[in-house]
Amino acid sequence: MPTSSPPPVDGIVSPIPGPPDSPVIGPPAVGTVPSASSIKNGDPLVRSHLILRRAFVLLLGAIYVIYALWSAYLLLVLPDVTGVHDALIAQGMIVAIGIGAAFLLMGLFALLRIGSAEIVDLPRRRLAAVKVIGVILPALVISGTVPVLIRREPTLSVSITSPEKSEDIIAPLSVTYSAEQAVAVLKRRNLTPEKFVWDFDGDGKMNAETTDPSVVAAYERPGSYTLSLAIFLRGGQVRRISRRLVIDKALFSVDPAQPLMDEPSRLSISNLVPKAEDLEQVEWDFDSNGEVDLITKELDVTHTFYGEGQSKVTVKITLKSKAVQTYSRVIDVIASLPLPFPVTFAAEPEHLVGPPPFGAVFTVKTSEPLRVILWSFGDGAEARGERVGHTFTTQGVYPVTAELRSQSGPVAKITKVVRVTPELQLSDLTFSGTPEVHGSKISGEIPVTVNLRPRTTMPLIEFFWEVPEASTVGSTKETVQASYRKEGIYTLWLIGQDPDGRVLRKPLTVEVLPVSSSVTIQMDPDGGAAPLTVRLDASETVIPNEQISGFEWTFSDEPQNATHQQGAQVSHTFTKPGTYDITTKVLTTSGKEFSGRKTIVVRAPVIASCIAASRTEGFAPLGIQFNSDCSTVGAKATYVWDFGDGFTSDQRNPIHDFQQPGVYSVTLTVRDGDTQAVSDPLTISVQP
Domain co-membership, 631 together with 582: no
Question: What's the rounded Cα separation, in Å, for the pair 194 and 34?
Answer: 73
The amino acid present at 668, given as its one-letter code, is L
In which band, very low, low, confident or very high, does the pLDDT at 316 lie, cut at 50, 70 and 90? very high
Highest mean predicted confidence (pLDDT) among 207-211, 541-545, 669-673: 207-211
pLDDT at 488 over 70: yes
- Measured in degrees and rounded to the nearest 5, phi and psi for residue 86 equal -60, -25
Output the average pLDDT for the chain: 85
Which residues on adjacent β-strands are paired with residue 238?
232
Q: Is residue 293 part of a domain?
A: yes
Q: Is residue 478 part of a domain?
A: yes
Of residues 14 and 42, which shows the higher confidence score?
A: 42
pLDDT at 15: 43
Q: Is residue 8 part of a domain?
A: no
Q: Is residue 26 part of a domain?
A: no
Tell me the Cα Rg of the chain: 50
Q: What angle in degrees, to the nearest 10, is found between the helix axes of 88-116 and 44-77?
A: 140
- Cis, peptide link before residue 123, omega less than 30° from 0: no
**628-to-611, 634, 647, 655, 681 alpha-carbon distances in Å:** 5, 13, 17, 12, 13
Tens-place pLDDT, residues 379-410: 889 999 999 999 999 988 888 989 999 988 88
Question: What's the rounded Cα separation, in Å, for the pair 275 and 409?
Answer: 42
- The residues, any chain, with a CB within 8 Å of residue 532's CB and separated by 6 or more, are 525, 573, 574, 602
The SS3 call for residue 95 is: helix
The SS3 call for residue 134 is: helix
Domain co-membership, 76 together with 111: yes
Q: What does the DSSP assignment read for 308-320? A: SEEEEEEEEEEET
Domain co-membership, 191 together with 213: yes
- End residue of a domain, out of 212, 247, 282: 247
Domain co-membership, 145 together with 40: yes
* Cα of 66 vs its chain's centroid, Å: 54
Q: What does the DSSP assignment read for 359-406? A: EEEEEEE-SS-EEEEEEE-SSS-EEESSEEEEEE-S-EEEEEEEEEEE
Per-residue DSSP letter, 332? E
Domain co-membership, 42 together with 130: yes
Domain co-membership, 227 together with 264: no
Question: What's the rounded Cα separation, in Å, for the pair 122 and 107?
Answer: 19
Per-residue DSSP letter, 129? H
Measured in residues, the chain has a length of: 688
Domain containing 467 equals 430-499
pLDDT at 528: 84
- End residue of a domain, out of 387, 420, 453: 420
Mean predicted confidence (pLDDT) in 145-149: 89
* Residues 586 and 541: beta-carbon distance below 8 Å: yes
Mean predicted confidence (pLDDT) in 488-499: 91
Question: Among positive and negative, which fits the CA dihedral 349, 355, 359, 360?
Answer: positive
Q: Is residue 479 part of a domain?
A: yes
pTM: 0.40
* Residues 79 and 152: beta-carbon distance below 8 Å: yes
**21-55: burial string, b at 16+ Cβ within 10 Å, e else:** eeebeeebeeebbbbebbeeeebeebeebeeeeee
Domain co-membership, 268 together with 230: no
Domain co-membership, 387 together with 450: no
The H or E element that residue 71 is part of is: helix 44-77
Mean predicted confidence (pLDDT) in 592-606: 86
Q: Is residue 19 part of a domain?
A: no
pLDDT at 260 over 50: yes
pLDDT at 370 over 60: yes
Domain co-membership, 242 together with 201: yes
Question: What's the rounded Cα separation, in Å, for the pair 680 and 668?
Answer: 8
pLDDT at 31: 40
pLDDT at 209 over 70: yes
Provide the number of structural domains found in the chain. Answer: 7
- Relative to beta strand 563-566, strand 480-484 is unpaired
pLDDT at 499 over 80: yes
Question: What's the rounded Cα separation, in Å, for the pair 147 and 72?
Answer: 12
pLDDT at 42: 56
Question: What's the rounded Cα separation, in Å, for the pair 626 and 233?
Answer: 91
In which band, very low, low, confident or very high, does the pLDDT at 4 lie, cut at 50, 70 and 90? very low
pLDDT at 503: 93
Nearest in space to 643 (alpha carbons), one of 619, 629, 626: 626
Per-residue DSSP letter, 9? B
- End residue of a domain, out of 231, 247, 263: 247
Task: Output 375-380 pairs: Cβ under 8 A, ≥24 positions apart.
Answer: 375/400, 375/401, 375/402, 375/403, 376/400, 376/401, 376/403, 377/418, 378/418
Domain co-membership, 462 together with 531: no
pLDDT at 43: 66
* Residues 155 and 182: beta-carbon distance below 8 Å: no
Question: What's the rounded Cα separation, in Å, for the pair 535 and 553?
Answer: 12
The CATH number linked to 401 is 2.60.40.10
Q: Is residue 42 part of a domain?
A: yes
Q: What does the DSSP assignment read for 73-93? A: HHHHH-S-SSSTTTTHHHHHH
pLDDT at 422 over 50: yes
Domain co-membership, 671 together with 572: no
Question: What's the rounded Cα separation, in Å, for the pair 132 and 346?
Answer: 82
Mean predicted confidence (pLDDT) in 550-559: 89
pLDDT at 178: 93
pLDDT at 23 over 80: no
Question: What's the rounded Cα separation, in Å, for the pair 407 and 656?
Answer: 84
Question: What's the rounded Cα separation, in Å, for the pair 233 and 236?
Answer: 6
Q: Is residue 25 part of a domain?
A: no
Of residues 663 and 35, which shows the higher confidence score?
A: 663
Question: What's the rounded Cα separation, in Å, for the pair 438 and 588?
Answer: 37
Nearest in space to 486 (alpha carbons), one of 517, 450, 527, 447: 447
Question: What's the rounded Cα separation, in Å, for the pair 51 and 39?
Answer: 12
Domain co-membership, 53 together with 127: yes
